[in-house]
Amino acid sequence: MSGAPSRLRDLIGGLRSSRAQFIERELRYRTLFEGVSDGFAMVETVRDAAGGVIDYVVLEANPALHRMLGEEASLVGRRQSEILSNSPPALLQALLQACETALKGHPLHFEYHRPGGPRWFDIHLSQIGRDRLAQLVVDVTERKRAEARQSEMFDELNHRVKNNLAVVSAMLSMQGRVAHLPEVRDHLARAVDRIQTIADVHASLYRSGRKDEVDFSTYLHDLCARLGESVVDKARVQLTVEAEPSVLSLDKAVALGVVVNELITNAAKHAYPAPAVGTISVKLTREGAGLRLQVDDSGPGLPDKPNPAGLGMRLVRSLVQQLGATLDTDCRDGAAFTVRLPNTGATEPAPDSQARLL
């Protein structure tokens, strides 16, 4: 019997030690929870009679989150739809869907700009229970402002590059108009088209607001529209374009744009000399991680002995090699040039992060 009091004392001592450890852990958690600079909340689902998720109620929220949202009253016990009542219904629905995705065990994050306010937040969602989510909210306003300033500077740079290339193009055009030899005028006109092709890429960047990527399908339509006015005789030759949506880096877009410029110009000059009529076809399709560009015509095909001094095709081959691409030529029915760019990283145009949430 003497051992029983001893075991009881050990049990009581163990309970006291466990309670002390629990209190210490709780104190550490509370210190971190109260002092961290990022916002944090734990939310729980609110379901309708059929079991569908219709809202989320806040179970816990730290002081940083209150400051971020400008809320003096406690967030605990309030629904998200109430807290974000100034947000558009579509945004509230998108946020609800994002929470449902996270509840399925797929952590995610997105950027959120509260309507009417200047601040941007990066919100991370992760499941911490059957019907509970942890929300980590990081203020990224300064980063967004820095990105906006960088974007403005980049836009200005592209605008200046475009304008400078336009000045060079105008000077060459003036020189071509006063040149006495037709061959010199032709060479200068080709140079003007090449420079304008590069200027169009920078104009595309300036208009789209992208930093270093070009919506190449849109650019290709614009390029062909310009060449249809300046190079192709529309009364005799039809220029058609088919292009799947794709985004390319600046350097790849410039190189591929010049390739298209050369191939269309060559086809207009050599496949359809007056009074010949026909069609020049341009097609851009996606092939796995790469792109396939084809320019073809129904003219007489290529000569058996191409002109070794021809700058156009030498430029095409050089740029294709620079791109790490391949060039295939088929002259059975006219001339067809196929450029394949493997692993270009080409992607479809994407909206901004908050638009993706919507």
**71 and 110 share a domain?**
yes
**193 and 71 share a domain?**
no
Bridge partner residues of 328 (DSSP):
338
Residue 24 has pLDDT above 60, yes or no: no
Distance CA 183, CA 114 (A): 62
Residue 58: name the closest of 31, 35, 83 by CA.
83
**155 and 282 share a domain?**
no
What pLDDT is attached to residue 249?
86
**102 and 166 share a domain?**
no
What pLDDT is attached to residue 304?
61
What pLDDT is attached to residue 92?
82
Q: Which residue has the higher pLDDT, 147 or 354?
A: 147
Backbone angles phi, psi at 181, to 5 degrees: -90, 130
**Tokens read off for 137:** 């909210």
Of 100, 120, 139, which residue constitutes the final position of a domain? 139
**87 and 8 share a domain?**
no
Residue 49 has pLDDT above 90, yes or no: no
Find the mean pLDDT for residues 32-53. 81
What pLDDT is attached to residue 82?
87
Count the residues in the chain: 358
Percent of all residues in the chain with a pLDDT value above 90, rounded to a whole number: 11
Find the mean pLDDT for residues 115-123. 81
Residue 80 has pLDDT above 80, yes or no: yes
Bridge partner residues of 127 (DSSP):
133
Answer whether 43's CB lies under 8 Å from 59's CB. Answer: yes
Dihedral (Cα; 243, 247, 253, 257), 10-degree rounding: 10
Backbone angles phi, psi at 149, to 5 degrees: -65, -40
> What H or E segment, with its residue span, contains residue 113?
strand 108-113
What pLDDT is attached to residue 349?
53
Looking at residue 160, its amino acid is: R
- Does residue 106 sit in helix, strand or coil? coil
Domain containing 329 equals: 213-358
Answer whether 239's CB lies under 8 Å from 198's CB. Answer: no
| pTM assigned to the model | 0.56
CATH of the domain at 77: 3.30.450.20
Query: In whole numbers, what is the pLDDT of the chain averaged over residues?
Result: 80
Find the mean pLDDT for residues 288-299. 90
The pLDDT confidence band at residue 354, using thresholds 50, 70 and 90, is very low
* Residues 6+ away with beta carbon under 8 Å from 274: 233, 236
Q: Which residue has the higher pLDDT, 110 or 22?
A: 110
Q: Average the pLDDT over each of 198-212, 257-271, 324-338 and give the range with the smallest value.
A: 198-212
What pLDDT is attached to residue 66?
83
CA 20 to chain centre: 53
What pLDDT is attached to residue 358?
37
**Tokens read off for 128:** 């911490």
**254 and 152 share a domain?**
no
Residue 357 has pLDDT above 70, yes or no: no
Of 139, 169, 201, which residue constitutes the final position of a domain? 139
Find the mean pLDDT for residues 146-153. 76
CATH of the domain at 328: 3.30.565.10
Scanning 84-130, the segments in alpha helix (DSSP H) are: 89-103
**285 and 253 share a domain?**
yes
Of 108, 139, 170, which residue constitutes the final position of a domain? 139
**28 and 55 share a domain?**
no
What pLDDT is attached to residue 32?
53
**217 and 352 share a domain?**
yes
Distance CA 200, CA 218 (A): 11
Residue 8 has pLDDT above 70, yes or no: no
The DSSP bridge pattern shows strands 278-287 and 237-243 to be parallel
> What H or E segment, with its residue span, contains residue 39?
strand 39-47
**228 and 352 share a domain?**
yes
Residue 212: name the closest of 248, 172, 265 by CA.
248
- Does residue 25 sit in helix, strand or coil? helix
How many domains does the structure of the chain reveal?
A: 4
Distance CA 297, CA 122 (A): 51
Residue 291 has pLDDT above 70, yes or no: yes
What pLDDT is attached to residue 21?
58
What pLDDT is attached to residue 44?
92
Looking at residue 38, its amino acid is: D
Distance CA 272, CA 297 (A): 9
Percent of all residues in the chain with a pLDDT value above 70, rounded to a whole number: 80
Residue 226 has pLDDT above 50, yes or no: yes
**357 and 222 share a domain?**
yes
**204 and 220 share a domain?**
no
Distance CA 116, CA 96 (A): 21
